[in-house]
Structure 1
Amino acid sequence: MTPEQKPQAAPGEGGGLERRIAGGLAFLRRRLTGEYEVDDFGYDEELTDQVLMSLLRPVYEKYFRVEVKGIENIPSKGGALIVANHSGTLPLDGLMMQVAVHDNHPAGRHLRLLAADLVFVLPVINELARKAGHTLACAEDAERLLERGELVGVMPEGFKGIGKPFSERYKLQRFGRGGFVSTALRAGTPIIPCSIVGAEEIYPMIGNAKTLARLLGFPYFPITPTFPWLGPLGAIPLPTKWTIQFGEPILTDGYPPEAAEDPMLMFNLTDQVREQIQHTLYKLLVQRRSVFF
């Protein structure tokens, strides 16, 4: 084969590879020299974009094949509180929602999740959660983030939702005392209901070893059709097909400042958010063809 016959690289192909290599080397240099920034919550945006999202994306795209609806309901700038149902035995739904917002929103916005105290006492998980932008599920942290114009995600069902038995799938548990509504009212930010279908079936929880859970300090210890019977293999989630739908925003900026202290208003708004999520869940369940396709 003569030099003239050798296949030619596509225009810019070599340059693109060189740029990626150079970018990767620059990223490693900043990591090694400490020339990167984290905010006062410990959030490392560069690490999240370059590493954590890259690790989660194949699970999101290829394994759970997440379909996203209503992304236009998330504002392009400014604070907003996304309120979602919680399920699946392990909190993969929050991580998939984080990828859904970042990869589908035209502005590539980041979602800052409010997580349970347990997350921040687990070795390694604690550090990764902080780096990914998660913070304690408390009103003070949520309000600070909203006032800074961040998107904040909360799952008010908490362990009641994620640890419920499979027989109660897609039935929303109690939403607490409406603290998330009070936070949104004080910050004057919209509340965006979010419904997630598919997470309930990844680890069908058919039992709860309560004694073992107490010994380990966990809120529950799940028994599923595959765990603990298959050992580590039983911890692999089932490859269900997911849908994440963001509903129309519920605006709060028209309420007076003292509205955040009105228990009846908080109850009504909490109930409105809960009913909207539950109604959308039922609608999505009717529309889906099967759990896996």
Structure 2
Amino acid sequence: MADAKVIPFDDDRSRAGERRTPRRAPAANGNRDGHPAEPVPINKAAANSASTKGTSGKGGSGGRSGAKGRRGRALPEQPSAPHDERMEQRGGAAREADGASGDSRGEGGGDKWERRIAGGLKFLRRRLTGDYEVDDFGYDAELTEQVLMSVLRPAYEKYFRVEVKGIENIPSEGGALIVANHSGTLPLDGLMLQVAVHDEHPDQRNLRLLAADLVFALPVVSEIARKAGHTLACAEDAERLLARGELVGVMPEGFKGIGKPFGERYKLQRFGRGGFVSTALRARTPIVPCSIVGAEEIYPMIGNAKTLARVLGFPYFPITPTFPLLGPLGAVPLPTKWTIQFGEPIPTDGYPPEAAEDPMLMFNLTDQVREQIQHTLYKLLVQRRSVFF
């Protein structure tokens, strides 16, 4: 297999996936006998209304109603609608578009499947020939969009039924640092957060997660993490990404958050020394607090085999009600209902350049972010009807 071409980071998203618009049948000028069709009166009010809807769907003055979904179709304005309602609306729009395509060509879903097969074959050919691009961090935009996101999406939509709130707090362009709580024994919350930003944001932005050293020390996992845009949790990499206008995700609790006992669920651990604040101050990018509810219960950690963890080189070895008692079946997460809420961004561009070296300012900003996330967690827990519904 040929080697992939390495391109500058700014061009890593230049290869957009192919999107074809459904073909429409040409307008008929007469009936089947060849005679001219009778003139049809035009309702000007209806025509104006249809014209208005058509233009607002393209992002003109329609605000979020003009935002495009994953398939490039216009979505209705529902920034905080429940997940089931959003899925029903998306499914209806997809069925309507597919029906229109089927009517125009008389092939129904066959034409859609032909396009998918053709696109899949092109994708495989590019992978086999090495005709694809990665950036200097190893991020493979095409593989992430067409494969990794497709693998994670069923868990996001059907299994955990993630509901997203406050997505409008993530800027449409430019760098931003998203700071979230960390939990769940295994880092599934980071993956679901990545899908949420990509699928729910109007501009389908990609989130570049900062991961611990252990992730890049594991075989297979490290390669997939690099392809998905993750990078080492260090200030230098984070600053480079932010300077290039990327969204960067960080979970300052680290292993202390993800490996805490079930009895301490939704109680934030220490946020380190505020290194993420210093990074945001140097890059002069906003900090977006993020609260995730639902991940704490997927693997209720009731014990920690510390000796075994030390032998294996892990920070902890979890014992749950199902693992290791049920073996591989115990590794299946519980189907909890998730909510991800993005808070109002905290600007950093108003501080002088030397503010990144001020320990008191970093402590205050770190505490402000932590308190905002903790307060939102408590609020979401009060509003939650059930762990699973």
TM range (shorter): over 0.9
TM-aligned CA deviation for residue 5 of structure 1: 32
Query: What's the CA shift string for 1:103-133, capped at 9, x where partnerless?
Result: 0000000000000000001000000000000
* Alpha-carbon distance between aligned partners in 2 of 1:64 and 1:9, rounded to the nearest angstrom: 23
Does the C-alpha gap of structure 1 residues 279 and 33 become closer, same or farther in structure 2, counting only changes over 3 Å? same
Counterparts in 2 of 1:9 and 1:42: CA distance versus 1, 3 Å: closer
Aligned: 1:106 with 2:190: no
CA shift digits 1:158-197 (9 cap, x unpaired): 0000000000000000000000000000000000000000
Q: Which runs of 4+ in 1 moved over 6 A?
A: 4-10
Q: Distance in 2 between matches of 1:249 and 1:136?
A: 24
Q: CA deviation at 1:198?
A: 0.2
* 1:13 positional shift: 5.2
Q: Provide Cα deviations, 1:71-120, integer angstroms capped at 9, x if missing partner.
A: 00000000000000000000000000000000000000000000000000
Residue 20 of structure 1 deviates from its aligned partner by 1.7
Corresponding residue SS for 1:152 = strand
Distance in 1 (alpha carbons) for counterparts of 2:383 and 2:155:
23
How far does the alpha carbon of each residue in 1:231-258 deviate from its partner, in whole angstroms, 9 at most, with x for none?
1000100000000000000000111100
Deviation, structure 1 residue 9:
18
Shift of 1:6: 29
Instruction: List alignment gaps of at least 5 residues for structure 2.
Output: 1-87, 95-105
Does the C-alpha gap of structure 1 residues 107 and 7 become closer, same or farther in structure 2, counting only changes over 3 Å? closer
Query: Aligned pairs, how many?
Result: 288
Q: Name the Cα RMSD after superposition.
A: 4.0
C-alpha distance in 1 between matches for 2:183 and 2:344: 22
Alpha-carbon displacement from aligned partner over 1:8-57 (angstroms, at most 9, x marks no partner): 999x75587x2222111111110000000000000000000000000000
> Structure 2 CA distance, aligned partners of 1:253 and 1:77?
15
SS where residue 54 of structure 1 aligns?
helix
Match of 1:272 among 368, 383, 386: 368
**CA distance 1:6–1:35, shift in 2 (3 Å):** closer
Q: 1:109 to 1:6 in 2, by over 3 A?
A: closer
Closer/same/farther in 2, CA of residues 9 and 272 from structure 1, 3 Å limit: closer
Residues 69 and 226 of structure 1: is their aligned pair in 2 closer, same or farther, counting only changes over 3 Å?
A: same
TM superposition score normalised by structure 2: 0.72
Structure 1 gaps of 5+ residues are none
Equivalent residue, structure 1, for 2:356: 260
2 CA distance for matches of 1:74 and 1:290?
Answer: 28
- Matched residue SS, 2:133: coil
Q: In 1, Cα distance between the equivalents of 2:109 and 2:272?
A: 54
How many percent identity over aligned positions? 91
Alpha-carbon distance change, 21 to 178 in structure 1, aligned in 2, over 3 angstroms = same
Q: Cα gap change, 1:211/1:26 in structure 2, threshold over 3 Å: closer, same or farther?
A: same
1:225, distance to aligned residue in structure 2 (A): 0.5
CA distance in 2, matches of 1:7, 1:153: 30
Return closer, same or farther for 1:107/1:209 CA change in 2, 3 Å cut-off: same
User: Aligned pair in 2 of structure 1 residues 30, 254: CA closer, same or farther (>3 Å)?
Assistant: same
Q: CA 1:283/1:34 → structure 2, altered by over 3 Å: closer, same or farther?
A: same
After TM superposition, the score normalised by the length of structure 1 is 0.95
